[in-house]
């Protein structure tokens, strides 16, 4: 039975991928996660007793721990989700992003390279898949899409640290022939996302009658991808992608931040009408939309991202299953039904600070 080592598997996309891999494959899934603020075992509670699941707490930048784990578990695949991801935090603390996203990826690559060097028989079928972001490409004008050939032009410390990691992965394939792949995704949404990001933050703030902070004029455009669809794309790349390959994964759902917030307000109204929410009455509001507040834009805020996902569609036959509106309704229902999870993950280092953030 093959083993997949999933780094950052207690985070948003990582935990969703763990469930997806356990449900769609026969592989053992070993999670390595440092359990920082955005990684929480509550996100894996439903698989904690699964016979093919194991959890190891550790930091991907810890050289000795990572190399020992790879040698002990002998994975046939490494899927690297581990990353600091929030742009605002990268502006305040770039050093932490460089350490995890860049140095951590280097340590994983080296652990894999040395493992295959010392045990060449393990190289057959081995894959190293690095999960990255569309933010490495910079920003778009009104037209155009990011393709796999788009030059890198990161505009935030977060994006720069991910871009550097992508370059390392490519170099380890080209120089050492490590069978590596890279995926670059658009904005994800869905269950288990830490409540500092746009969609969960707006849902929870709205239900509590708190302001819905929107950067600038709300016109920044993102391409939204339901997390379950993203996990299926990653699995397809892992199983069928050509080593050295790079695949963009996007939902084809461009929306301005203001459009997303308005859609969320409408979805909340359908699921939990404002007139029946005492928190709104206490705030003196008659609708969720009245909670919208425009705040000063952040430095280096990219105006538009949009993904050309034609390669993964053409070569691997992947396509997203969720229309944006359908995925949004499922997401709203999940957060409304899992308030205990939201409180548990918000009780850590950054706690209720999330309520004052205007996210990416």
Q: Which DSSP string do the residues of 211-264 spell out, in sequence order? A: -EEEETTS--EEEEEEHHHHHHHHHHHHHHPPTT-EEEE----EEEHHHHHHHH
Catalytic residues: 134-135, 158
Strands 221-226 and 127-133: unpaired
Token pair listed for 282: 């206490």
Judge whether 321 and 229 are in contact, CB under 8 Å.
yes
Judge whether 354 and 212 are in contact, CB under 8 Å.
no
Which DSSP state fits 146?
B
Best CA proximity match to 46, nearest among 82, 73, 79, 22: 22
Judge whether 252 and 225 are in contact, CB under 8 Å.
no
Which residue's entry shows tokens 């046939």? 76
E strands, 151-236, in order: 180-185, 187-189, 212-215, 221-226
d(CA 126, CA 135): 28
Best CA proximity match to 31, nearest among 271, 315, 22: 22
CB atoms within 10 A of CB 334: 16
Backbone angles phi, psi at 87, to 5 degrees: -60, -45
Which DSSP state fits 136?
G
């Amino acid at each position: 039975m093959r083993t997949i080592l999933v780094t950052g598997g207690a985070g948003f996309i990582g935990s969703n991928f763990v469930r997806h891999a356990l449900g769609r494959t026969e592989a053992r899934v070993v999670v390595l996660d440092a359990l920082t603020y955005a990684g929480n075992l509550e996100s894996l509670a439903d698989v904690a007793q699964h016979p093919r699941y194991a959890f190891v707490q550790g930091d991907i930048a810890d050289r000795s721990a990572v190399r020992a784990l790879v040698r002990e578990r002998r994975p046939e695949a490494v899927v690297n989700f581990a990353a600091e991801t929030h742009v605002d935090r990268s502006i305040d603390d770039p050093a932490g992003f460089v350490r995890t996203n860049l140095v951590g990826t280097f340590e994983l690559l080296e652990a894999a390279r040395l493992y295959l060097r010392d045990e060449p028989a393990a190289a057959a079928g081995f894959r190293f898949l690095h999960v990255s972001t569309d933010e490495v490409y910079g920003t778009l004008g009104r037209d155009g899409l990011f393709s796999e050939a788009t030059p890198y032009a990161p505009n935030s410390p977060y994006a720069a640290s991910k871009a550097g990691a992508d370059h390392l992965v490519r170099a380890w394939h080209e120089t050492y022939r490590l069978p590596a792949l890279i995926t670059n995704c658009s904005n994800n949404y869905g269950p288990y996302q830490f409540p500092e990001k746009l969609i969960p933050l707006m849902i929870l703030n709205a239900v509590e009658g708190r302001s819905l902070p929107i950067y600038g004029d709300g016109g920044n455009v993102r391409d939204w991808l339901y997390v379950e669809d993203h996990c299926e794309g990653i699995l397809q790349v892992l199983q069928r992608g050509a080593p050295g390959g790079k695949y963009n994964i996007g939902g084809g759902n461009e929306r301005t931040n203001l459009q997303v917030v308005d859609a969320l307000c409408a979805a909340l109204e359908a699921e939990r009408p404002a007139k029946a929410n005492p928190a709104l009455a206490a705030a003196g509001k008659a609708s969720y939309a009245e909670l919208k507040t425009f705040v000063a834009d952040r430095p280096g805020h990219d105006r538009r991202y949009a993904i050309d996902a034609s390669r993964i569609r053409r070569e691997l036959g992947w396509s997203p299953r969720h229309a944006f509106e359908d995925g949004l309704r499922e997401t709203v229902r999940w957060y409304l039904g899992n308030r205990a999870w939201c409180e548990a993950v918000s009780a850590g280092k950054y706690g209720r600070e999330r309520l004052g953030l205007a996210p990416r």
